[in-house]
Amino acid sequence: MLRDALEFVFSKADESTNPRPHIIQTGRRKVLRVLNGKVDETEIERPSLIREVETLRDVMTLVATFKGSEPTIFVSEERIDVVLDNDDRLEKVSMRLQHSPQFVALLTLAEGRQQRELVRVLRTRLAGCVDNKDFLSIVRQVEFDVNRGSHGTVNHTGESLGRSVTMEARTKVGEIPEEIIVRLPLFQVPHDLATEMVLRCAVTVEPESQKISIEPTGNVLAVERKRVMSEVIELLESHNDADATIVSGRCEVSGLVTPA
């Protein structure tokens, strides 16, 4: 009993010389500190976190955990971001979108490739993407010739170089088509976003440089990219169990940290 009484007396004496604050939680992010009769209000910094996932299934699984918190989903051709921004926490779930190797390869063909290089790309990175099954054989058999004479015509297989020399390209297995249809996915991953683009492409043969170029015609590429992104948004809406707001565009949110 005496020991307890002495400890009580010493503790009161310690508090009088080294007063400790009384902390009162008044909300999820506010704390009142009472010290020597003075009240100080302190705001607690909310936790923030960013997480990276690889598939749309992973995104929607995490979105479901935000139900009732009104998250926002930002959709762009570079990434899909789910942002939860409220008094409790600031959190972002992100999935990076990468263009498919087929799409990247097609874009490089617009500047023209030598015959051997083009055959390699058609056999590997664009295998199965061209509707015309004979196109690869036609490209293999293209011959570039120099003819003497005077020609005044210009088309996709030849052009006049002057009054005396004309170069042209021809093939023994069939005419070089002016257009082909190419079907390929816009995105490499994930598999649940493997929507195909259907692109009408112009084929141009340049006899002087002995190059062949393949390039989407008109605005077909922009139209198809927009269609694919619309389908991505529709897919997100069909799995939107958390009643999230879906926005087309990039996410610009600061104050987030990536977990170690």
Identify the CA nearest to 154 among candidates 207, 212, 113.
Answer: 207
What's the pLDDT at 77? Answer: 92
For residue 110, give the DSSP letter: G
Question: First-to-last CA distance in the chain?
Answer: 52
What's the pLDDT at 258? Answer: 44
Exposed / middle / buried, residue 44 (Cβ in 10 Å: 0-12, 13-18, 19+): exposed
Q: Report the predicted TM-score, pTM, of the whole model to 2 decimal places.
A: 0.69
**Cα 95 to Cα 250: distance, rounded to the nearest angstrom:** 12
Under 8 Å between Cβ of 169 and 144: yes
Per-residue pLDDT of the chain (260 residues; tens, 9 = 90+): 544 544 444 455 444 555 454 444 444 555 556 556 566 666 666 667 788 888 888 888 888 888 878 889 999 999 999 988 876 678 888 999 989 999 999 999 999 999 999 999 999 999 999 999 999 999 998 887 756 454 444 445 555 444 333 445 566 666 889 999 999 999 986 656 668 899 999 999 888 888 999 999 999 999 999 999 999 899 888 888 778 899 999 887 655 544 43
Q: What is the CA radius of gyration of the chain?
A: 33
Identify the CA nearest to 75 among candidates 100, 93, 48.
Answer: 93
